[in-house]
Structure 1
Amino acid sequence: MSDTSPSERILVIGPAWVGDMVMAQSLFMTLKQQRGNPIIDVVAPGWSLPLLARMSEVHEGIPLPVQHGELGLGKRRALGHALRRQRYDQAIVLPRSYKAALVPWFARIPRRTGYRGEMRYGLINDIRPLDKDVLYRTVERFVALGLDGEVNTAPPIPQPHLAVDSHNQQICLEKLGLTTDKPIIAMMPGAEYGPAKRWPTAYYAELARRLVEHGKQVWVFGSHKEASLGEAIAGVPGIENLCGKTELVDVVDLLALCEHAVTNDSGLMHVAAASGARIIAIYGSSDPNYTPPLTDKAQIIYQNLDCSPCFERECPLGHTNCLNEIKPERILDYMEL
């Protein structure tokens, strides 16, 4: 951090999803650029604290002691009371729910900024209207809350950048038995939202085999829930199924070693973009204009069918052509192999 005395203390109530938390870094960067080096603390789910530690703009990540979707009124009150001593000047509440606004109110933060949401007048006293035509992208909505006054045009978006820990990177390589003697292609075949956002696993498997034939190695990333996807892809030597074997910050460090990352529209897509990998992002039911990877090194593959984007978890027409019609050869072409 700079030696300059901070002019403000800002508390951000962070989002609950991996991709949104990465995109929130654009807000933190904007606050640092616009506000004269404020101290920025972030209240967030416990899983995200190691990720926040990789964002140089964040002074401290503060765990929110409730489960996803839980009101936890007493826990939020206790946290808010504990934060009073920090004397924050402003709170920025990214989620639009009633419960998300409780901690800043209990903390008696004088300026509490957020969009109009679930009957939270009073809890939020700097209420912003949300014009979805002006602020279409999620990241634009986050960044706009860090600006003063009405926002009539989409703001500039700083690209997230997660710090890489080279020491942890080496530990991960040794622990997982990985080598860097061949170019590495990352694959992220999961998408927690649902199958309408997941490129067919069989296509990932075919692409992985073709990449190995071209002298590459493939690392498949995902959670414990996605281990079966990794198993279906890792059928030949040179393909490593790392699903469920890494922490989120381990993925940050390992992705920094990868030549390309082939991914669905998912939280790990945003992690890969912020880790510096070249992204090939495959979109199905979602809209690449709404949640694009925030990097100049991205190639977006999107069919733009008449039925797209539907934003459904499963294809309402039963064919999922938005994904099934994207063949592995197309990805290979983008890699110029």
Structure 2
Amino acid sequence: MTKRSLIIAPQWIGDAVMTEPLLRRLAARGEQLTVGALPWVAPVYRAMPQVAEVIEFPFAHGGLQWRERWRLAQQLKGRFDAAYVCPNSFKSALLPWLAGIPRRVGYQGEARIGLLTQRLGNPPKGQRPPMVAFYSALSGEKDVATDRPQLQLATAEVEAALAALNLTRMGYHVFAPGAEYGEAKRWPAHHFAALAAQLDLPVVLLGSGKEAALCASIADPVNAQRPGHCLNLAGKTTLLQALGVIAACKSMVSNDSGLMHVAAGFGVAQVAIFGSTSPLHTPPLNDLAKVLWLKADTTYQPPLDCAPCFARVCPLGHTRCLNDILPSRVKALL
């Protein structure tokens, strides 16, 4: 009999992409997969063919929201044989426990001893393996270090996104200049603008509504010189449309962000710019990805002894790790 499994998804887009190899392993051994995800992450799982069903959780950030979890758990009772809990929080393990799912797998953390039936040792953050391997280990299988995320959209979904936005496959570059974590992960807007002005193909800017002003600060000065060269779509697309736009682009330039991992999952040519964080932990796992990180550049002087600091804002006030990556260097990699 087919084992029915529920995956409790992470709450960030990049982390969701990095769980794909775990799901692929589970599906390969015959498990039928349902993913429970927050609405802003759910579309990522619709780009994973091994997922049979996606349940959008009616939860918000913060608080246990006990009543909502209990109600949903009653609807899920008896449906699943196993649950894999990707986040480390207490509340993420509540739903499988309330639903009475017999086998509940996750990492140790936040007093989850009674909620999980199988707990993996949770190494300190500084000693964790790369996140893809971290999630894939929940399968209980070995040799997870070589796993790479793979995303796939139906051709009709991609074409629908392109038609709605008046774009042509491989006829544009994508810039994703945002990074939810903070400015120490964001390559300067004026560098993005200078790069866009040098490219022959049009540039499409993607991001959330909160990043619309950031994208406008890139698109507006370029369009003043080259009308229509930059299309600012920040906050104007669904996530599913954004996935289609990325899947069909000529190349993508981004910071270390969720959309960086989306591009890697689709295997598009990309340049990923790292500043305060480390590509040793969350690299874009893509043969066509090129990473710029001054910490690893032996020719850069003086060396960046402060990196990676993992800070939201540069503690030293200079953000050399990003400011000193010139647009010409990124262009040379495209």
TM-score, length of structure 2 as denominator length:
0.90
Corresponding residue number in structure 2 for 1:19: 14
Tell me, what secondary structure is at the counterpart of 1:61?
strand
Equivalent of 2:111 in 106, 113, 119:
119
1:125-274 matched pairs, under 5 angstroms: 125-131=117-123, 135-147=128-140, 155-180=144-169, 183-211=171-199, 215-234=200-219, 235-236=222-223, 237=227, 238-274=229-265
Does residue 283 in structure 1 map to residue 283 in structure 2? no
Could you tell me how far apart the structure 2 residues matched to 1:141 and 1:174 are? Answer: 38
Q: CA deviation at 1:98?
A: 0.9
Corresponding residue number in structure 2 for 1:317: 316
Amino acid at match of 1:164: L
Equivalent of 2:101 in 100, 106, 109:
109
Could you tell me how far apart the structure 2 residues matched to 1:257 and 1:125 are? Answer: 42
TM-score, length of structure 1 as denominator length:
0.90
Corresponding residue number in structure 1 for 2:301: none
Does residue 80 in structure 1 map to residue 69 in structure 2? no
Could you tell me how far apart the structure 2 residues matched to 1:195 and 1:134 are? Answer: 25
1:231-254, CA deviations, whole angstroms, 9 ceiling, x for partnerless residues?
122222322111112111111111
1:137-188, CA deviations, whole angstroms, 9 ceiling, x for partnerless residues?
111110001115xx6xx623432222223333333333323345x7421110
Could you tell me how far apart the structure 2 residues matched to 1:327 and 1:191 are? Answer: 19
Corresponding residue number in structure 2 for 1:39: 32
1:88-103 matched pairs, under 5 angstroms: 88-103=80-95
Does residue 29 in structure 1 map to residue 24 in structure 2? yes
The question of whether the paired residues in 1 share the 8 Å contact of 2:7 and 2:35 is answered with yes
Corresponding residue number in structure 1 for 2:55: 62
With over 3 angstroms needed to count, the CA separation of the structure-2 counterparts of 1:281 and 1:224, relative to structure 1, is same
Percent identity of paired positions between Structure 1 and Structure 2: 41
Q: CA deviation at 1:94?
A: 1.0
Amino acid at match of 2:207: G
Structure 2: tracts of 5 or more residues without a match = 296-303
Structure 1: tracts of 5 or more residues without a match = none
Amino acid at match of 1:49: A
Amino acid at match of 1:217: P
Does residue 307 in structure 1 map to residue 293 in structure 2? no
Does residue 48 in structure 1 map to residue 41 in structure 2? yes
Could you tell me how far apart the structure 2 residues matched to 1:281 and 1:136 are? Answer: 20
1:287-328, CA deviations, whole angstroms, 9 ceiling, x for partnerless residues?
111111121111010011210111110000000001001000
The question of whether the paired residues in 2 share the 8 Å contact of 1:279 and 1:299 is answered with yes
How many aligned positions are there?
Answer: 319
Could you tell me how far apart the structure 2 residues matched to 1:184 and 1:248 are? Answer: 18
Could you tell me how far apart the structure 2 residues matched to 1:30 and 1:156 are? Answer: 13
After TM superposition, the runs of 4+ consecutive aligned structure 1 residues lying more than 6 A away are: none
Tell me, what secondary structure is at the counterpart of 1:21?
helix
1:18-71, CA deviations, whole angstroms, 9 ceiling, x for partnerless residues?
1111111111012123xx221111111022222212211111111222102231
Tell me, what secondary structure is at the counterpart of 1:205?
helix
Deviation larger for 228-237 or 88-97: 228-237
Tell me, what secondary structure is at the counterpart of 1:47?
coil
Amino acid at match of 2:12: W
Could you tell me how far apart the structure 2 residues matched to 1:67 and 1:225 are? Answer: 18
